[in-house]
Chains A and B, each alone.
Chain A
Amino acid sequence: MDALEQKAAAVRLQVMETALAAGKGHVPPAFSWVEIGVTLFHGGVLRVRPGDPAWLARDRFILSKGHGCLTLYALLADLGFFPSSELATFARDGSRIAGHPDPLLPGVEVVSGSLGHGLGLAAGLALSARHEGAEWIAATVLGDGECHEGSIWEAAAFASHHRLGNLLAIVDRNRLGATTSTERSSALEPFADRWRAVGWDVREVDGHDIGALQTACDDLPRGRSGPPRVVIAETIKGKGVSFMESSESWHHRMPRGSEIDEARSQLVHALEGVS
């Protein structure tokens, strides 16, 4: 577990450095799903081959909340999908590491960033896998604000109706949209009950507890029909930098002046603390 926590701390620091080098990026929405991403890619959930990104039997992963891509980039680089040095090109003209995910980059399946697309895409992929009798799964990470989109609920009903047990959705439930609480704009609660009502296998966990996330993602029924699974991961937007945490001011704002040193200091300290 310590190794995975250390990985998460390293990912956060990498996210911050990548954004600082570019002078832009959605840092707090990336921080909130770091443990989710580490669990998926390092915690034994997803089967991928970094040296063979097009491996036919790979699990398909879609970051539906595409604006959280800095965490995905840090994870994919660390796994070896592309050289870590390339992270320095983030958001630069001509880079394949864009402000939202793009399949030009090895390890990225689809463009994402307009919200509400990922669950339907993943449902189509899961249906395809089952149709061909394959064991790979489709997994997607959704933002909770994204779940305001009607298309998410179209896809949720479809996946349940077709018993896509090979579909895993994890909702990054940080309770903040771009400018305010999800509950103040258009309340999502009772959120878990909504998923249960459309027939999903619902697991509610602390989204920063890697062990709990691993348990929630355990024993996915590969190649079999059953209720699709949603893990509602209670998270903190901006997790890891105190002044960003759960703040309505921090969606795509970048640290300035002394905030930069403070953010770095906290992230380095966290990394050293688990080393």
Chain B
Amino acid sequence: MAGLDPRDAVFDAIAQRAAQDPRVFVLTNDMGALGLDALRATRPAQVINVGIAEQNMISVAAGLALGGNLVFTYGILSHVTARCYEQLRLDVCAHRLPVIGLGVGSGLSYGADGPTHHGIYDIGLLRALPGMTVYNPADGMTAGAVVYEAAAARGPAFIRMDKEAPEPHATLSAAELGAGARVLATGKDALVIATGCSVGRAVTAAAHARDSGVDATVVDCFRLKPVPESLLRPLLRAAPLVVTVEEHSSVGGLGSLVAELIADEGVNPTFRRLSLNDDVYLGATGRAGAERVAGIDAAGIVRVLQADGSARRDRTPGMARAGTEVRA
């Protein structure tokens, strides 16, 4: 069943903000959206199509922000990150300006359009930018909520948006919004941390795994930077098996940041990183097929939970203690 489209949610939130504040701008590199059209109709001076010129879009956004404005920039995720990376690093982040990037097409949203449009490398890029807050909402409701969060922070931020529009996975409390992650299911045998579209796959997988006796906690990690440490650290300390799931390259994304957190925490759970390969996916790539091959669909997650969750539980009497197993 289709839920709220993340783009509609984001532009609704921006429209509400812009209605109260003439110093809100939206810039786009000639990318359309229904919500953007609606905003343009009511606030024409505040919506600017800069043409297909991503570097200039970010520099102009930074200039507007230097002048005291809150600026959103909108385009296809893969184009508005790598093409203008230096402008993000120097013009926006070096000055900690309130420029909020909106990139549609996370993961293989545009899989059939080929590698030019795949949003599978940007988490690593965006995470490396000092001062950049990175959101990867899993549903439209969360996408709308993080707009308010990012706008209130008045600093550099980026919101990844998927083309899928699932029903909300759960409610989102103010505390969860502040924490940057929420727990969608609880179980003692495994901790599944997912982000973006992979959250829905993880929830489905956990339900199936539960039927076969593996109880997993599922976390929707919708903020990737700053890492939701307050929520994740206690869970990592208690988990015998940690599985990360993301529709992103294996380099620099959710798996990488959880690996860093595990290392920082000094625990040693069984750790499985499920992601796409460190590769360029040539040709038209079907999302479902690519997820199946990479093992990041629900079935792939179930296989890992059954293999490693069951094995771990079988070896460890009762509730496993974190950090007790040294993996080969």
Contacts and interface: CB of A to CB of B under 8 A. Distances in A.
Interface in A109-135: 109-111, 114, 116-117, 119-129, 131-132
A123 B51 CA distance: 15
A125 B51 contact: no
Contacts of A158: 50-51, 53, 56, 60
A155 interface: yes
A157 interface: yes
Interface stretch (B87-95, B105-113, B254-262, B270-278): B87-95
A109 B45 contact: no
A129 B66 contact: no
B95 A154 contact: no
A214 interface: no
A109 B55 contact: no
Interface in A66-92: none
B66 A125 contact: yes
B68 A120 contact: no
A155 B59 contact: yes
Interface in A140-187: 150-151, 154-155, 157-158, 162
A121 B59 contact: yes
Contact of A127 (B64, B87, B94, B95): B64
Nearest to A136: B67
A48 to B, nearest CB: 15
Contacts of A123: 56, 59-60, 63
Interface of A: 60, 103, 109-111, 114, 116-117, 119-129, 131-132, 138, 150-151, 154-155, 157-158, 162
B18 to A, nearest CB: 13
A103 B66 CA distance: 12
Nearest to B45: A131
Contact of A114 (B62, B69, B90): B90
B161 interface: no
Helix, strand, loop or mixed for chain A's interface? helix
B56 A127 contact: no
A19 to B, nearest CB: 24
Given A110-B66, A128-B69, A158-B53, A151 B95 contact: no
Contact of B60 (A60, A110, A129, A155): A155
29 contacts: A109-B66, A110-B66, A110-B95, A114-B90, A117-B86, A117-B87, A120-B55, A120-B56, A120-B59, A120-B60, A120-B87, A121-B59, A121-B60, A121-B66, A123-B56, A124-B61, A124-B63, A125-B63, A127-B63, A129-B67, A131-B67, A131-B69, A132-B67, A151-B55, A151-B59, A154-B51, A154-B53, A158-B53, A162-B48
B55 A121 contact: no
A128 B50 contact: no
B98 to A, nearest CB: 13
Top 9 A-B residue pairs of the complex, sorted by shortest distance between their CB atoms:
A124-B63, A128-B67, A120-B59, A154-B56, A154-B53, A124-B60, A151-B55, A125-B63, A121-B63
B90 A117 contact: yes
A21 B61 CA distance: 38
Nearest to B65: A124
Counting chain A CB atoms within 10 Å of each CB, the highest count among B63, B64, B67, B95 belongs to B63
Interface string B30-51: 0000000000000001001011
A110 B95 CA distance: 7
A150 B55 contact: yes
Nearest to A120: B59
A65 to B, nearest CB: 15
A100 to B, nearest CB: 10
Contacts of A60: 66
A124 B90 contact: no
A103 B50 CA distance: 27
Given A123-B63, A124-B59, 16 more contacts: A110-B66, A110-B94, A116-B55, A120-B63, A121-B59, A124-B65, A124-B66, A127-B63, A128-B67, A154-B51, A154-B53, A154-B55, A154-B56, A155-B60, A158-B53, A162-B48
A111 B60 contact: no
A116 B55 CA distance: 9
Nearest to A151: B55
B170 to A, nearest CB: 39
